[in-house]
Amino acid sequence: MEKCAWNNYDTEQMQQLQQLADQYKQFLNSGKTERECARETVRQAEAAGYVDLQDVLGGRAPMQNKVYAVSMDKTVALFQLGKEPLEQGMQIVAAHIDSPRLDLKQHPLYEDSGLAYLDTHYYGGIKKYQWVTLPLAIHGVVIKKDGTRVELNIGEKEDDPVIGVTDLLVHLAGEQLEKAGSKVVEGEALDVLVGNRPLEGEEKDAVKAQILHLLEHQYGLAEDDFISAELEVVPAGKARDCGLDRSMVMAYGHDDRVCAFAGLSAFLHTEQQQKTVCCLLVDKEEIGSVGATGMKSRFFENTVAELLELTGNYSDLKLRRCLSRSRMLSTDVSSAFDPSYAHAFDKRNVAYVGGGMVMKKFTGSLGKSGANDANAEYIGVLRKVLDDAAVTWQTAELGKVDYGGGGTISYIAALYGMEVIDCGVPVLNMHAPWEVISKADLYEAAKGYHAFLNM
């Protein structure tokens, strides 16, 4: 480990660090799905004086230099227009706000042997065996046929019930424990237990009937409403301080809400610059950045086109110039060195917990395949910016060569011809239901993103 961020703090910085970590835990607690996270982002943006681009376009608000745009409640782009024309390019911090989880199927509810279950299809890369025997919560929306929207959030309040996936008792697990890790718990076994009490007077599937009765009376929902629903099952409970010294945070969804939060915080603390600054929070990264709300969608490009038009200046060429002259930090988490699994990491090229913000020149797998390989020239510029701002930072690869790999949104933004590098916070047991980060790394990332937006 090259540097330890903790060694650099005076009393005031330590207070700032704790305050930022407390705000971060709040952010996590109010945003456990991409929709909730987008809504919390909009709330903070509006409190800071940002207006909805749709209101500007609809004539309900005057154009000003602080605007945001939301796509389908799941992706948010915030802009603070600079003193230079937009055509000169932007400074962009981008992160994703979706996290691995269990999504309900469209026909989820069934009863077997006196127990009611919700069938799921997991979202993103998970070790399936990690999702059993945990208290889980259900978050999401149901859109009824008449257009009514019902929001669900069950399992987070102290007196809420929780749900969960069962596992085979160890006494009978001899055969199960001989299986490969990927098969110990199969995808189709990730069904969530939700009931055991029969509805009075029902003969067939009375436990399921009880759940349907409850959904109808408490939420006005019928069984076929699951068809037009997005219900996400996530670990129940709040983000908490971790370690006897409270130096870390254990929570669901650090990937990638820790970078989303650090980026948003840095962005909202940035005063008008020469260049336009932007904070982009996207959905669907965990399943390949697909769909209308993923980074591969034209939403971001279209929004920049609207801004060029509103500032009296749109042309296709100017849009292309704006995007290609932009610089981005693709802010996403990185694997942290774990001494218990040291064999998977290259000790000289891995991120350490407490080592500060981490820059990854490339991601990808098997010979950098699928990576955005950032230019040395760009890294050279960033090194100076970070050092001048006294940011503690490190460089890393995900793990040892040919051990595996991963991707981010950076290669998609790079299609515009802009400079992009991956940059984030190290995470222990990434993609597990409960992940761990260091408060020092969060603090250094927020400092680093702020320095980038203000360069």
Binding to Mn ion in span 362-401, by CB under 5 A:
none
**Binding-site string for Mn ion from residue 212 to residue 251, where x marks contact by CB under 5 A and - marks none:** ----------------------------------------
User: Is residue 332 involved in binding Mn ion (CB under 5 A)?
Assistant: yes
Instruction: Evaluate whether 145 touches 228 at the Cβ level (below 8 Å).
Output: yes
Beta-bridge mates of residue 281: 76, 95
How many residues belong to the chain?
Answer: 455
Q: Which is nearer to Mn ion, 326 or 330 (CB)?
A: 330
Cβ of residue 408: shortest distance to Mn ion, in angstroms? 6
How many Cα atoms sit within 13 Å of 179 on the Cβ side?
Answer: 11
Distance in angstroms (rounded) separating the CA atoms of residues 445 and 440: 9
**Residue nearest Mn ion (C-beta atom):** 256
CB of 410 to Mn ion, least distance (A): 11
Of 47-55, 71-79, 86-94, 326-334, which segment contacts Mn ion by CB under 5 A? 326-334
Distance CA 154, CA 161 (A): 7
Structure tokens that stand for 360 in this block: 């990854």
Asked if residue 127 lies in contact with residue 146, where contact means CB atoms within 8 angstroms, the answer is no
Query: Quick one: 225 or 232, whose CB is closer to Mn ion?
Result: 232
Contact between 40 and Mn ion by CB under 5 A: the answer reads no
* DSSP secondary structure letter of residue 298: S
Q: Is 98 a binder of Mn ion (CB under 5 A)?
A: no
CB of 49 or CB of 125, closer to Mn ion: 125
Nearest CB to Mn ion, comparing residues 270 and 289 = 289
In angstroms, give the least distance from the CB of 449 to Mn ion.
Answer: 16
Spatial distance between the Cα atoms of 10 and 60, rounded to a whole number of angstroms: 47
Of 327 and 360, the one with the shorter C-beta distance to Mn ion is: 360
Q: Which is nearer to Mn ion, 36 or 255 (CB)?
A: 255
Options 40, 111, 255, 397; binder of Mn ion; rule CB under 5 A: 255
Establish whether the linkage from the previous residue to 256 is cis, with ω within 30° of 0. Answer: yes
With contact defined as beta carbons under 8 Å apart, do 438 and 139 qualify? no
The nearest distance, CB 409 to Mn ion, in angstroms, is: 9
Considering beta carbons, is residue 36 or 256 the nearer one to Mn ion? 256
Q: Which amino acid is at 382?
A: L
Q: Single out the residue of 234, 33, 220, 43 nearest to residue 126, CA to CA.
A: 234
CB contact at 8 A, 322 and 90: yes
CA 125 – CA 346 distance, rounded (Å): 22
Kindly state the smallest distance separating residue 281's Cβ from Mn ion, in Å: 12
Nearer to Mn ion, 319 or 351 (CB): 351
Tokens of 246: 């409270």
Scan residues 138-167 and list those touching Mn ion (CB under 5 A).
none
The set of long-range contacts for 341-348, using a CB threshold of 8 Å and a minimum separation of 24, is 343/400, 344/399, 344/400, 344/403, 345/399, 345/400, 346/397, 346/399, 346/400, 346/401
- Residues 422, 395 contacting (CB under 8 angstroms): no
Nearest distance, CB of residue 430 and Mn ion, angstroms: 7
Q: Which is nearer to Mn ion, 276 or 334 (CB)?
A: 334
**256 contributes a contact to Mn ion by CB under 5 A:** yes
Residues 278, 90: contact at Cβ < 8 Å?
A: yes
Binding of Mn ion by 36 (CB under 5 A)? no
Q: Which residue has the tokens 């705000």?
A: 23
DSSP-derived letter for residue 378 is H
Residue 219, both tokens: 């939420």
Distance of closest approach, residue 406 Cβ to Mn ion, in angstroms = 7
Pick the piece of the chain touching Mn ion (CB under 5 A) from 26-34, 175-183, 219-227, 255-263.
255-263
Supply the minimum distance, in Å, between the C-beta of residue 439 and Mn ion.
19
Among the listed ranges 264-272, 327-335, 368-376, 397-405, the one in contact with Mn ion (CB under 5 A) is: 327-335
The 8-class DSSP code of residue 336 comes to B
Residue 332 or 397 with smaller CB distance to Mn ion? 332
Pattern 164-203, Mn ion, x by CB under 5 A: ----------------------------------------
Minimum CB distance to Mn ion smaller for 191 or for 256: 256
Q: Binding-site residue total for Mn ion (CB under 5 A)?
A: 3
Site string for Mn ion, 278-317 (x = CB under 5 A): ----------------------------------------
CB atoms within 10 A of CB 238: 12
Orientation angle between helical segments 34-47 and 254-268, nearest 10 degrees: 10
- Residues lying near Mn ion in the complex (CB under 5 A): 255-256, 332
